[in-house]
Amino acid sequence: MKILLVNPPIYDFAAYDFWLKPYGLLSVAGYLRGKADFTLFDYLDRLHPFAAARENLQSDQWGRGRFYQRQIQKPPSLKQIPRRFRRFGLPREIFREYLTGTAPPDYVLIQTMMTYWYPGVQEVIEDIRTTVPKAKIILGGNYVTLCPAHADTLGADLCIHGTTLALLWDYLALEPDLDQPALWEAYDKLNVGVLKITQGCPFKCTYCSVPKVYGDFAPRPIDRCLAEMRLLLNLGVKNIAFYDDALLFNPEKALTPFLEEIISPHDIQNTTSQKTSPKRKRRGIHAIRDTQYAIRIPNLHSPNALNARFLTKDLADLMLRAGFKTFYLGFESASAEWQKQTGSKVFCEELAQAVDHLKAAGANPQDITAYQILGHPKTDSQQLEQSMQFVNSLGIRGMLADFSPIPGTPDGDYCAKYVDMTEPLNHNKTAFPITLLAFKKSNQLKDLQRTLNRNLPSSTTP
């Protein structure tokens, strides 16, 4: 059986390779490792020969960078947004040539992350139907789960809603091995990888879809996580981003034992967290160092917002020892009223304490960033400018995360008073803040954030 995995292009106002990898798609393929012949076409692979040949797409020190892009016409529902619309990813012709130059697949698995990125899925389906019409197309991912009725209109043979995959295994007539790591070897060349050592989130923030998509919080089996880490190391990965939605929650059950496995035996003896499990047998990454392969532990990153409430002194020290380089903290607002309304998880004093712990452990302040939401429908109580000033007073960078109204969440459903939520393009995170605040106000807030970051000591803005 031949199965083609496709990570589609992105249709959007802006996109950047912030450690973007199709982790769900690769995880599903990993469960079927050795039971089918897999190939991968990732439109967003910046190491593809076409992209790698372009100097303006080179990576920064942490493996991030720009995508190949071209300006295209805006769809009618976004005509009123005064920004240029683009297609991000490898040219369409390269995929068509790829399909005609290889043996036709029996099945094509496609995933996309954002609901409003569905035009890329639509493009891929059109090319598959034209070039390899006998292939069965299967869609999955957040878009399919959050917008099932809309996804059903794109013409796939099967849509997988949510993370329950029994329907997929039955359709393929294959038995999965859920202990297998993601199929990272599907890439010809790889310098960035992704890990998840937990699943779901224990919190119920009114703007977030994680509980709806992934359910309650649960640690993943540590042996499987370590196996995936080893696989990434063997493939030469230099930067690994954690996609966990609650990485610091109950750290003694997931993050602490995982990090203890990947730091050297000498360092573990100097880490106070080792007291939690002094007799546990080390099974992890350090053992690889004793082989003929000198594998270096890569740089670790936390692009999903870390909950500063759980960032203790010992945990900050352990994370730095294990190789964490960048820290992204969730801090949606300094307003107590807004925090209460939305279920926000972090108060001002908790953020300040977390920053102090990271600095004391040796983190570079330039690599500590606090997220704040721009364009939330309850922005009046958010006091965003004051919140931005507070973050700046801590000596760290701020980053405005544009609000995307997500269907099925309380805040997303509330946004139906502003936009037609049945059209996923209206969930666009660039478009909605402009619709809510107006173009001028949105730009003023972004300019303020850039100014604050620029005025930090020895700061470099993105």
Position 459 pLDDT exceeds 90: no
Give me the CATH code for the 191-330 domain, please: 3.30.750.210
The pLDDT confidence band at residue 301, using thresholds 50, 70 and 90, is very high
Position 443 pLDDT exceeds 50: yes
What tens digit of pLDDT does each residue of 61-87 get?
Answer: 999 999 999 999 999 999 999 999 999
What tens digit of pLDDT does each residue of 219-264 get?
Answer: 999 999 999 999 999 999 999 999 999 999 999 999 999 999 988 6
**What was the pLDDT predicted at 264?**
60
What tens digit of pLDDT does each residue of 338-356 get?
Answer: 777 766 668 889 999 999 9
CB 249 within 8 A of CB 198: yes
Least confident of 260-274, 284-298, 386-400: 284-298
Position 334 pLDDT exceeds 60: yes
**What was the pLDDT predicted at 267?**
46
Q: What's the pTM?
A: 0.92
Structure tokens at 330: 């969730």
The pLDDT > 70 percentage for the chain reads 91
**What was the pLDDT predicted at 458?**
72
**What was the pLDDT predicted at 265?**
52
Long-range contacts for 224-227 (Cβ within 8 Å, ≥24 apart)? Answer: 224/179, 224/180, 224/181, 225/195, 225/196, 225/197, 225/258, 226/258, 226/261, 226/262, 226/283, 226/284, 226/285, 227/179, 227/181
> How many angstroms separate the first and last alpha carbons of the chain?
45
What is d(CA 330, CA 314) in angstroms, rounded to the nearest whole number?
20
The pLDDT confidence band at residue 460, using thresholds 50, 70 and 90, is very low
What tens digit of pLDDT does each residue of 147-180 get?
Answer: 999 999 999 999 999 888 999 999 999 999 999 9
What is d(CA 331, CA 336) in angstroms, rounded to the nearest whole number?
12
What tens digit of pLDDT does each residue of 79-111 get?
Answer: 999 999 999 999 999 999 999 999 999 999 999
Cβ neighbours of 242 (radius 10 Å): 21
**What was the pLDDT predicted at 34?**
96
Of 313, 307, 312, 355, the closest CA to residue 331 belongs to 307
What is d(CA 237, CA 323) in angstroms, rounded to the nearest whole number?
13
Q: Please give the class, per CATH, of domain 2-172.
A: alpha beta
**What was the pLDDT predicted at 381?**
64
Locate the domains of the chain by residue range. 2-172, 191-330, 357-462
Between 436 and 284, the higher pLDDT residue: 436
What is d(CA 423, CA 98) in angstroms, rounded to the nearest whole number?
32
**What was the pLDDT predicted at 66?**
97
Fold agreement between 2-172 and 191-330: no
